[in-house]
Structures are given as structure tokens and as C-alpha cells.
Amino acid sequence: MSIVDVALDRTAAITAATSDRLNPILIKETRQATQSKLFSTVFLMFVAVSWLVLVMGTLSQWEYLETQPTAELFFAWNFGVLSFAILVIVPFGSYRSLLAERELHTYDLLRITALSPRQIVRGKLGTSLLQIVVYYSAIAPFIAFTSVLQGFDVAWISWVLLMSFLWSMALCTGALLTGISSRQNQWQSANMVGLIMILLIDWGFVLSFVLAGRSAVNFEDPDFWWVNGLTLLAAVSYVILAGQVIVARLTFASGNRSTGIRVVLVAQFWLVVGLLWLLVSLDNPIVLGSDFQINVGCVVLLHWTGAGLFLVTESDFLSRRIRRRLPVRRLWRLLAAPFLPGGATGTVLVFAHLMLIGLGLLVAGILVGGDPDYAERIETLVIILLNVIIWVGIASALARWCRKLSYRFTPTAVRILTVTLFVAVQILSAMPSLLDANMSRDLIWMSALSPFFMIEIASSFHGITTQFDPSYTSYLIAWTIVIAMAVLVLVINLPAMFTSVARIIRDRGPDELQATPPPPEEPIGA
């Protein structure tokens, strides 16, 4: 046996051993993709278009190749082809990957295998990652040609390629989530059309940014790297959250679909708190700006609003599988209760973090003292916080009441009902200002449950000390209504929150009804 044969045999053995340890979904999807005519055709078209762009660009810029910086232009043309592949084709393939499982009736077979939902998601995303790497490898020779031209900026091109790679993975995750978001054919068609439009718009936006060139960014500015780092962390956290949601959608109904999502949500919140503390301790000029503080506060509150709308509307039923895995010690059950499935436990989790935000705003208000700018920012965030407590609490109460009325009220129906009620209140709040501007000043209390009007009104009354103005009295009444509604919502939801946590602590497991031994079986033929 020759040395070549030995090397081939060893390579085959290593490949076989490695493939056995790799994700089965990754291997299956990769084999299907590489053996399909669609992938081969798309890849050959990608290479052909790249060659055509290179040849046509060289012919059009032949006179300027040695005298002017043309590397940036050539890179933009090549990137246009690459970005279409990684920002449109690959994410759409991710969308079709799980959708095809349902169309081919292999989705249920995939769920009953020994593979966990997390392995399925990793395999699907791993396939997308592999395709992105293939396209990057194919474009590498053209980028290498661009590097010999004048004006080649290594930092700019490396940053664009890296950010495009990360953004492509984020789009693949979002597309995968879109593919499993609905089971009805009409909604699947709408999702597909909407996804294609979003991908094309995103591709155009990214391409226009790259065509703007190196002047669009300033690598020497430290704030640029701070903003990039914070944006990257936020994007990664939401990609992880989307992946966890996909895992939850693939999990059986009797399984724990909620704990992983809640852990990620809490981790995101404390990540923001830690970053803010770090930036404040470093006296970073970004965090000292009023716009940054307002924007971060609004993002955090909207984050808990969206999450709370889903968490508080869950069913309070705990399956036998979940109850079997409860911690033994009551203290650990108490700590784990907010992370377990259930609308009431979700209300506990959301309200606890909203209270922490309120405590933080109170401490900040005490520390800033009489600074009018900081006082206005805190007042704005307090208005948003109270409205979040009100509407999340309303959603939680509606979920329980609707389930008592009929089983047909699904969590989705409760969420739609809550959003509809919120929109109706906003329309009613705008009626006085639409009818008569002068009358609206005396009817400010009618806009108490509208955060948009309350913020605008609060900014107009900021710094006013007179208490004899009728409009100011109406403004104080509006504040009273908001605070009273927040307290009322807390009081309404408090019994359910206490009952759910107490039930988890006192739970004896799914076998508590079988505490007494069963009667002995009668002999055969008795």
C-alpha cells in the first residue's frame, strides 16, 4: 500500500469519525444543499456575476488603475454581489429550511427523534453559517485582486466584512423565527412576502452605506467604537433571545417553553445595568448626554413591555414534566418561581424588574437634586414606567378573566385585545385636543393613560410653580389618576401572583395524589 493510499484511508477515517460527532441536522442540510441543483446554480451564478463585475470594472477603469485610488470602488462592486448572497439568499434559505419540513411532513418526525430542539436550531443555523463561509471563500480571490489596487483600506474592508457576516447570521436567525411563527398557509404567504421585502430593503440600505465609502465612518473617534460595541452586544443578546424563542416553539407543549426565554430577558436587563454602571464610572461622554439616557430608558421599558405582554398572558398550568423537575428545597423554588411557565409568575418577574427600575429612578432623582434637565428626564421615564405597569397589569388580569370565561381565549387573543384597548384609549385621549385646543388644557386628566400626551404636557408644565392655574390643577389630577391606576393594577394582580408562587413552593410533585399505596391486584380468575 502506497503512502497516498494510507493518507486517503486516514483522511476518510477522520472524516467519518468527525461526521459522527457533528450535528446530524447540519450534516443532513449540508448534504442536501451541496447535492441540490438550486445551490449549484446559485453558486455558479454568484461566481459568474463576480467575474463579470471584475472584468467590466477593469475595462471601465483601465485608465485610472495606476493613477487613482480605485480599490474602494472595486470593493463596493464586489461587495454588492456578496451582500446579495449573504443578506438575501442565505436568510431566505433559512426561512425555507423549517418551512420545508412542514410542507414535506417531516416536521413531526424530526420532533420525535432523540434530537433536542436546541440541536435542531443549531443544525439549521450551522448550515446557514456554512453557506455564508462558502460565499466568503468564493469572493476572496476578487477581494485579493482589489488589495493590489491603490486606495485599499484594510481596516475599512475588514470592518465591513465582519459586520456583514454578523448581520447575516442575525438575519438568518430572524428568518428562521419567521418560518415557524405561524402554521396557517395564508399567514405563511404573508410572512414570506414581508420577509423578502425586508431582506431587499436591508440589502439596499447596507449597499448604499458601503457605496458611501470610507468617509461614512471615523475609526479614530473613540465614541465610534463605544457605539459599535454597545450595538453589537445588544444585537447578540437579541439573536440569542430569538434563538431561545425558536427552541421554545419547537418544544412540546408539556415541556418548559418559558424558562430559557425568561433567563435571557433577565440577563439582557442586567447587562444593560452593568454597561451603564461601567460607562458612568468611566465618565464616558456618551452616557452623560440627555438623548442617550432617555433612549436607553425607553428601550429598557419597551423591552419589558413587549416581553411582559407575552409572559403575563401564558397559561398558569404546569405539566407533570415541569413539576417533576422542581427544586427540592423551598428556598430554591421561591427563587425559581418567577422563571417557571405561567402568566402569574411572569407578572411577578416583570413587576419585580419594573420596581427595580422605579427604585433606580428614585435614587437618580435624589442624587441629581435640583437639576432641571435631569428632573425632566426622570419625569419622562416615570410616566412611561407607570404606563408600562398599568398596561402589563391589565394584560395579566385580562388573561385570567378571559380564561375563566372560555377556553377559546388564547394568549394571542388576549394580547390583541390588550393592544386594541390601548389604541382605543389613545384615540379617546386625543379627542379633547382635536375638538378644542383651549378646552384640552382643562381636560388634561382625560389623557392620563396616554404616555405620549402626558410626556408632552409634563414638558410644558415643567418649572411652573403656580397652583392656581386650572390647567395645572388638571395636570395634577392626571398624575393622581396614573399613580392610582398603577397601584390598583398591582393590587388586582397581587392575589394571583401570591397564589402562583405559593402553589409552586408547596407543590408535592405530580405523584401527590398517589401518596397512599394502591390496593393489591386481584388474582387472575377471582
Euclidean distance between CA atoms 285 and 296, whole angstroms: 15
Record the cell numbers describing residue 11, joined without a space: 483522511
pLDDT per residue as tens digits for the range 159-205: 889 999 999 999 999 998 888 876 666 677 788 888 889 999 999 89
Give start and end residues of each alpha helix (H) in 213-314.
Answer: 222-250, 259-281, 290-311
Residue 150's contacts (CB-CB under 8 Å, 6 or more residues apart) are 65, 66, 67, 68, 69, 70, 71
Whole-number mean pLDDT of the chain? 80
- Nearest C-alpha neighbor of 195 from the set 212, 173, 225: 173
pLDDT tens digits along 103-118: 777 777 777 777 788 8
Average confidence (pLDDT) over 34-56:
82
> Residue 518 has what pLDDT?
44
Crossing angle of the two packed helices 117-147 and 71-84, in degrees rounded to 10: 160
Give the pLDDT score at 421: 92
Q: What are phi and psi of 516, to 5 degrees?
A: -85, 140
Residue 519: predicted pLDDT:
41
CA distances to 517, 518, 525, 526 from 522, rounded to whole Å, are 15, 12, 8, 7
In the chain, how long is the greatest CA-to-CA distance? 105
Question: Using 50, 70 and 90 to split pLDDT, how confident is the model at 516?
Answer: very low
Better-scored residue on pLDDT, 280 or 399: 399
Per the structure block, which three cell numbers stand in for 180? 415557524
pLDDT band at 524 (very low <50, low <70, confident <90, very high): very low
Q: What is the mean pLDDT of residues 451-472?
A: 67
**Cβ atoms within 10 Å, residue 324:** 10
Q: Which of 7-11, 118-122, 407-411 has the lowest mean pLDDT?
A: 7-11
pLDDT, one tens digit per residue, over 127-172 is: 888 889 989 998 888 888 887 777 778 888 888 899 999 999 999 9
Distance, C-alpha 34 to centroid of its chain = 31
- Give 122's pLDDT tier (boundaries 50, 70, 90): confident
Residue 521's pLDDT is what? Answer: 41
Q: Is the pLDDT reported for residue 520 higher than 50?
A: no
For residue 517, pLDDT beyond 50: no
- Percentages (nearest 5) of helix, strand, coil residues in the chain: 80, 0, 20
- Show me where the domains of the chain are located: 22-217, 289-508
- 18 or 329, greater pLDDT: 329
pLDDT band at 17 (very low <50, low <70, confident <90, very high): low
Residues with Cβ within 8 Å of residue 391, at least 6 apart in sequence: 305, 418, 422
- pLDDT at residue 303 is higher than 50: yes
Q: Is the pLDDT of residue 78 over 70?
A: yes
Residue 266: predicted pLDDT: 92
Picking from 266, 300, 305, the residue whose alpha carbon sits closest to that of residue 395 is: 305
What is the arithmetic mean of pLDDT over 262-284?
84
pLDDT for 324-376, tens place per residue?
888 888 888 889 899 999 889 999 999 999 999 888 888 777 766 556 667 77
Per mean pLDDT, which range of 228-237, 347-356, 426-435 is the poorest? 426-435
**Residue 112 and residue 193 in contact, taking contact as beta carbons nearer than 8 Å:** no
Percentage of residues of the chain with pLDDT beyond 70: 81
pLDDT at 511: 57
- Within 8 A by CB and 6+ apart from 481, the residues are 445, 448, 449
C-alpha cell at 126: 450551522
- Do the Cβ atoms of 282 and 157 come closer than 8 Å? no
